[in-house]
């Protein structure tokens, strides 16, 4: 059966569909020995040979869905140009080629999903879906009611006004406070920028939930496979 090339690449776990489109436009993909740059190109999984970086891309096999508790000090990428540790170093027991769903910055820990299901990756990272991401943040100082209200309307950061978010104070530690922050976007370092904007910078940041999927007691640096129920939930979003 013929499918669009970007869908084939996403289903094969090469990249998200959006990133696959970028690879095609950049001339990084060859089909039957010919470089393809048209997004409308279709390929047949059984008869066409697709190559990326000189290696043949095999059609999608079994889909796997993984939750990792990412530690600080790891970058959320398959390979880092500066040779820093990546999240892939933490899942070496996984035979399938998977990619991170979205990202967590170098200094942030917590829940990170990885999969070779390109359609799900696209769904969970597309801005229109507005999937909630929940964080526990240790902030300098204590946000006041005006700060909490500002979060609820959206905070102006360098990329513009954010979508409405939630800020809830859980514990007052004097110099610091512990807060639960929920956003529906995934802009680069968004939570940190929002907290900077209200003059209460982040000391530590940990993602604990994506939608109804919770990190729970998974140890830092460890990973597990999602349950069938968790996968079904994510596909229903």
Which residues are annotated as catalytic?
Answer: 105
Residue where the block lists tokens 């889909």: 63
Integer Cα distance of 36 and 198 in angstroms: 47
Integer Cα distance of 215 and 230 in angstroms: 12
Geometric angle at alpha carbon 58, from 57 and 64, rounded to 5°: 110
Q: Which pairing describes strands 42-44 and 2-4: parallel, antiparallel, or unpaired?
A: antiparallel
Geometric angle at alpha carbon 202, from 198 and 204, rounded to 5°: 160
Instruction: Specify the DSSP element, H or E, that contains 229.
Output: helix 228-236
For 127, half-sphere exposure in the C-beta direction (CA atoms, 13 angstrom radius) is 3
């Amino acid at each position: 059966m013929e499918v669009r090339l970007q869908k084939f690449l996403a289903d094969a776990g090469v990249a998200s569909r959006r990133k696959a489109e970028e690879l095609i436009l950049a001339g990084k993909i060859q089909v039957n020995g010919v470089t393809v740059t048209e997004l409308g190109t279709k390929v047949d999984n059984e008869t066409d040979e697709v190559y990326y970086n000189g290696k043949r891309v095999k059609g999608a096999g079994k889909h796997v869905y993984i939750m990792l508790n990412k530690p600080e000090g790891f970058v959320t990428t398959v390979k880092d140009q500066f040779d820093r540790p990546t999240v892939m170093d933490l899942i070496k027991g996984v035979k399938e080629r998977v990619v991170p769903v979205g990202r967590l910055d170098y200094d942030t820990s917590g829940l990170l999903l990885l999969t070779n299901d390109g359609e799900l990756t696209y769904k969970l990272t597309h801005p229109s879906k507005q999937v909630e991401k929940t964080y526990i943040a240790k902030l300098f100082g204590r946000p006041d009611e005006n700060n909490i209200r500002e979060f609820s309307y959206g905070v102006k950061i360098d990329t513009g006004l954010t979508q409405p978010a939630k800020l809830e104070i859980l514990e007052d530690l004097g110099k610091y406070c512990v807060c639960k922050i929920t956003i529906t976007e995934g802009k680069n370092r968004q939570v940190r920028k929002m907290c900077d904007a209200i003059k209460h910078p982040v000391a530590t940041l940990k993602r604990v939930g994506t939608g109804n999927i919770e990190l729970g007691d998974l140890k830092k640096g460890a990973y597990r496979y999602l349950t069938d129920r968790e996968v079904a939930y994510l596909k229903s979003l």
